[in-house]
Amino acid sequence: FIAYGCQSRTFRVLDTLDSEISLKLGHREWDIFTIAPINQKYGLSFAPIGLGDMLNPSGAIVATNSLISAHDGDEKGSGQDSDLPTRIKVEIWSRGSGRFLAYSSNCPSKVIVHTESEPETSNELSFDYDTKKGMLGFPLPEEKNEPHKIVIVWDTTRLLQ
């Protein structure tokens, strides 16, 4: 699991089910933690957090799927593991606008957003990635009466480096 401190804006990987978060707060200080399961596959770890400027970031997430081959398993990599696809993706449906945060063990190659009513129209978003923290962030535009479909893609050749 990953814990995201909404006030402190920090990620903490919880290695076991009985992991604890130790925290010292001063008088009138506070923090709220969002806990999310980490999806692990193909040597990649990923967990969506949600809209980072909200007190309940994960409340913006409508649905998410597991890490999958970007081409449903029909495109294999040329690396040491022939079962490794050349690209991996995750799809997330989220409501609202603002800065979307996620934990990722590796930097993605691209982040794409589109709406369900116009699936052929997609926009590649600029994003930032903090290698030390594993924090991925990108801006979500205003939605149009339905959730955004976010697709995050990793190039597996970059995972092996």
Q: Could you report the per-residue pLDDT of 22-37, keeping only the tens digit for each?
A: 878 889 988 888 999 9
Contacts of 30 (CB under 8 A, 6+ apart): 7
Binning pLDDT at 50, 70 and 90, where does residue 118 land? low
Mean pLDDT of 113-139: 86
User: Residues in the chain, how many?
Assistant: 161
Percent of the chain whose pLDDT exceeds 90:
48
Q: Would you state the structure tokens that stand for residue 125, as one six-digit string?
A: 């978003």
pTM comes to 0.84
Judged on CB neighbours under 10 Å (0-12, 13-18, 19+), 65 is: exposed
